[in-house]
Amino acid sequence: MNIKITGSGSYIPEIIQDNSKFLNNEFYDNEGNKIETPNEEIIQKFRKITGIRERRYAKDELNTSDIAFLAAKNAIENSKIDPETIDYIILAHNFGNTSNHTTQLDVFPSLAVRVKNLLKIKNPKCVAYDILFGCPGWLEGMIQGYGFIKAGMAKKCLIIGADTLSRVVDVSDRDSMIFADGAGATIIESTEEKGGVISHNTATYTDDEVFYLFYGKSFNPNAEQKTKYIKMRGRKVYEFALTNVPSAMKECLDKAHVDISEIKKILIHQANAKMDDAIVRRLFKLFNQDPPEKIMPLTVDRFGNSSVATVPTMFDLIVRGELDEHSIKKGDKIIFASVGAGMHINAMVYQL
């Protein structure tokens, strides 16, 4: 028995916000001091470092559970399965449903049960639950679903990653330019077909690293201070990722007995183009090799960092032939990898 992705779907929000959106922002540092550097210069430096030229935001009337449903619906249609045969719906997110009109996060009831309701699944044996695992949440959901199927507890699982980070950003913080909205989903099931999940690896670091990403007050000292926003110690995150992600990916490859030369694509969490490129270069250096061209697709330039949605969205676009210059075919071996709040790292070696 092998466990494979038999369907994928994504929802890319319609609202496009390019970098010019931030020209009139007042930016402050983490000490509450107004940054006097012209915004044109801030934005130019931001794009050079992150590669982000635009990002996607969800419409006001759509919540995280809504866009999760749309991605899930696409994945179910792509897989051609009966939704009543799904055993688990695992939905990864970080901030629940966050309306633009309230400062409260809504996770009661869970987003997964709302998605099940929207999908009109009646089967009570279809178990739906959320996971909070930072940006690696979708991939960890994949690992959990794989475990359920491997243990004989399930035959089909729907794994979703969805977030609306645009609603939890501090407009006075330069890091607000990184974050975006989106949703991606996959169906995994047991099959006699060759391939599927070969190995996986997860680690959690909670010493100094635990608050590299956190919920904090606005940098603007004149802003209302009861509301909190997503915050990031960018340099710390960057250094942590470069130190730990390549070795985690190598460990996953070693467990799979797969050489790096066999890998056709590396689908890594789309946080920062410069960071992702450095991670991949360090991974290949562990094998005393240089990365081949186009081994790592990038979507962060046009979609921004949509957290748990970045990897499944990218996978869906590639298998549908909608990501320029990137393709994968049956039999190809790829790596999924992610890093994020926790700090969590995970990786998976997968064969189509």
- Co-location of 184 and 285 in the same domain: no
Residues 236 and 185 in one domain: no
Catalytic member of 39, 63, 201, 269? 269
Residue of 305, 326, 344, 346 with catalytic role = 305
Same domain for 135 and 224, yes or no, is no
In which residue are the tokens 């060759």 written?
Answer: 194
User: For residue 327, what is the domain's CATH number?
Assistant: 3.40.47.10
pLDDT at position 321 is 94
The verdict on 32 and 169 lying in the same domain is: yes
Please list, in sequence order, all residues whose beta carbon lies within 8 angstroms of the beta carbon of residue 229, skipping any fewer than 6 positions away.
168, 169, 170, 173, 215, 216, 217, 218
User: Looking at residue 103, what is its pLDDT?
Assistant: 66
Ordered mean pLDDT values, 10 residues apiece, the chain (352 residues)? 96 96 94 94 95 96 97 98 98 90 81 98 98 97 98 97 95 95 98 95 96 94 87 95 97 97 97 95 96 95 97 97 92 97 97 97
Active-site hit among 135, 200, 201, 252: 135
Q: What is the pTM of this model?
A: 0.95
Number of compact structural domains in the chain: 2
Are 139 and 221 within one domain?
A: no
269 is catalytic: yes
Residue-range definition of the domain harbouring residue 203: 198-351
Which pLDDT does position 164 carry in this prediction? 96
Q: Which of 132, 167, 193 is the last residue of a domain?
A: 193
In this structure, are 267 and 153 located in the same domain? no
Query: What confidence score (pLDDT) does residue 224 get?
Result: 81
Instruction: Kindly state whether residues 236 and 182 are assigned to the same domain.
Output: no
Last residue of a domain, one of 164, 193, 222: 193
Do 127 and 23 belong to one domain? yes
> Is 24 marked active-site?
no
What is the rounded distance in angstroms from the CA atom of residue 265 to the CA atom of residue 327?
A: 9
> 193, 218, 246 — which closes off a domain?
193
Q: What is the dihedral of CA 138, 143, 148, 150, to 10 degrees?
A: 150
Torsion angles phi and psi, residue 194, rounded to 5: -65, 150
Same-domain status, 79 and 184: yes
Q: What was the pLDDT predicted at 100?
A: 67
Same structural domain for residues 273 and 220? yes
* Distance between CA atoms of residues 345 and 341, nearest Å: 9
Same domain membership, residue 209 and residue 113: no
Q: In this structure, are 12 and 158 located in the same domain?
A: yes
220 is catalytic: no
